[in-house]
Each structure stands twice: as structure tokens, then as C-alpha cells.
Amino acid sequence: MTSRRATQVDVARAAGVSRSTVSLILNGREQGRIPPATRERVLTAMRELNYHPNWAARMLVQQSNRVIGVFTYETLFPYEEDDFFYPFLLGIERQATHEGYHLLLFTRGDDTESSRGIYREDGNILSMVDGAVLMGKHPDPDEIRRLVQEERAFVFIGRREIADCDFDWVAPDYRAGARLATERLIALGHTRIGYIANSPNSGTYDIDRLEGSKDAAAAHNSVTFSLLPQSPFSDRSTLLAAIEKEHVTSIVCNSNETLAHVLHHLETSGINVPDDMSLVSLTDDRVTLPAGIEPSGIHLNRAAVGAEALRLLADRLSGREGPPIHRLIPCLLRDGTTAAEPRAAAS
């Protein structure tokens, strides 16, 4: 027979108390509410049932070491400043210091594996910390579900949607950021705006960016918003033909990578940026660009995202209950050098 993991309901039944009583004790909030004898009876039931306590129980029974783990599903831990996830780590570290927590970085990789994992032959590596901040573009859904089932305290950096599984996450507000960047083009005087993405509708963020740009354009009757061909990387002629057909004077690019390719096609075709065509980007990932070119668009405020993830986790560890929280952090506008008034407006 397959053994079933004991739950709080099992503990409550064995101790002859309600589940709410067990919850109060696990969260360290029983003082003045629960008699000491009842508290001891619940702890005894936990030991007899081999109940694997969640984060709150560990704080109660073992006392917290005030250590939070940081784990990434990326192949390499974000040590380098040009790593996309590095600013998140900075925000996490600064907020951990403010909250009075140490950080434990789970940096071990395995050359024999294509991805990193939380569960190894020796168990769950997060068992040694009070809670964890997780990040990575491609998390393992089964591991995340298991963490939720085990009632582990964690917050994910990034908007991740896993079927039949909900948990705390913090992410940049891409939709509002896209609206902000597109509004900037409109404020400069652009009324013919194109949108281009190298991977449209492939994920939540792609949809958010597109919808945010549409939101901004839809708020102005004078603005025409066009979806341009989704092949800026190899098909220059198709891109240029679409620009001419739609009479666009500015282009919203879903990423700096897309902007770099569009910029190359335009410049090699004699179209100057930003004098002839304005470009904005909806990410701030690092990309190689010609000297003096700095993408206009949005700044994802990643350090603030990391700090908020740590703050939310610390709040959980302090005893906050309730459903999972999903928090979006506002993006910031960055001027850059790739957006300007259209020639007609400037003249």
C-alpha cells in the first residue's frame, strides 16, 4: 500500500482538536488562546503521525534560523551583472538584510542534467531553509505542485500559471509597461504605430505586452495600430513592405532582441532611427547594439520585483495566512535614443 502523507486534518483528529487550533499552534499564535496542555497534545500528535511540518511548524518546533533560500531553474546561477536575473538577486539580498534574514544560494548544478531541480536523491534541498524565492523561465510544474502540496513557503519571481496549482508570485507589470511605452510614442506625435514580436502569443508575457500596446492605441481615435510581420530576424523585405503599406512612423518591439534586428534592417535600408522611424522596446534585456544606441522603452524594475518577493515571503513566514498573492510591480519609462517626434510633427 502507498503511504499517505499526514495532513493538518490528521493531526487535529489525533489530538482531538479543530484544524483551526492546529493552525494557530503551527503559526505561533496560540498564546492566550490555547492551553499549554492542548499545545503539547498537538505537537505529540505531529510526532506520532510523522507529520512533516510546513514552514510555520518548523519555526515553532525547531525555531527559525532566519535563512531564506534562493533557487533558479536557469542552468547557471545569476552571478554575472549582465545576467537577466541578476537585478532580481540584488533586490532579494537588500530586502533580506532589511528583514533580518540570511540568504542561502542554491548554486549547485549537475553537468549530467539539462536543467536544475529542487528534488534530488537526498530529498528536497529547500528543507534546510525557512522559505525560498524561486525564479527561472522554465520551472518544473511537477516540482512546484509538490512544493504546494508539502505546504512549503516560497514565492516565485515571474508570473507562472500551472494547472491546478496556485502560489505566491511577483512579476513586472508588462501590460501596464507596454501601455506606458506606447503612450510615449503617442505623446511624441506618432499616430501610425506598428507592433512586432519574434514570438507572439507564446506565453502570458507576450500576450500582456501586445494587449498593453493595444490598450494605449485604443484610447486615441487618431491612432492606427498595426501588427507587422513576425519575421524581423531573416525577412527584411517583408518587414519593409509592411512598414510602407501601413505608413507606420514608429514600431513597438516586444524585446530588445527584436529591436536590435529591426534596427539593423532599417539602418541597412537607409532608414534612420529615430529621425525616420522611432522604436521602443518592452524589455530591458541586454543586447548588442551600435555605439551610442540605447533602446527607448521600459525598465522592468527587476530589483524592486526581487525585493517585493522577499518581502512577501517574510510576511508569510511571520504568520500571514490566506490565499496565494499575485503581485505586479510597475515598470519604469526609460528615454533611450531610439524614439523622437515624427518628421512632420518636428517640422
Closest CA to 57 of 153, 162, 145: 153
Outline where DSSP puts E strands in the chain. Answer: 67-72, 102-105, 119-120, 123-124, 131-135, 154-157, 168-172, 192-196, 224-227, 250-253, 278-281, 296-299, 326-329, 332-334
Cell of 324: 496565494
Confidence at 176, pLDDT banded by 50, 70, 90: very high
Max mean pLDDT range (26-40, 52-66, 268-282): 268-282
Contact 132, 68 (CB under 8 A): yes
User: Region 282-289: what's the mean pLDDT?
Assistant: 91
Distance between CA 16 and CA 261 in Å, rounded? 67
Encode pLDDT of 215-241 as tens digits: 999 999 999 999 998 766 668 898 999
**Would you give the distance in Å from CA 270 to the centre of its chain?**
38
- 265 vs 234: CA distance, rounded Å: 9
Q: What pLDDT, on the 0 to 100 scale, is given for residue 125? A: 87
Lowest mean pLDDT among 31-45, 54-68, 260-274, 333-347: 54-68
Q: What count of other Cβ atoms lies within 10 Å of the Cβ of residue 330?
A: 13
What gap in Å lies between CA 302 and CA 310, rounded to an integer? Answer: 13
pLDDT at 347: 42
Question: Could you tell me which residues come within 8 angstroms of residue 334 by beta carbon, excluding any fewer than 6 positions away?
Answer: 284, 294, 295, 296, 297, 298, 299
Across the strands, what pairs with 193? 225, 250
**Looking up cell 507587422, which residue turns up?**
228
| Residue 185: closest CA among 103, 279, 298 | 279
pLDDT of residue 57: 46
- Averaged pLDDT for residues 268-289: 94
How many helical (H) and strand (E) elements, i.e. helices and strands, does the chain have?
Answer: 12, 14
Beta bridge partners of 123: 120
Task: Return d(Cα 258, Cα 282) in angstroms, integer.
Answer: 10
- The reply to whether the predicted model has a pTM over 0.85 is no
pLDDT digits (tens, 9 = 90+) for 100-153: 999 999 987 665 555 688 987 657 888 889 999 999 988 999 999 989 988 889
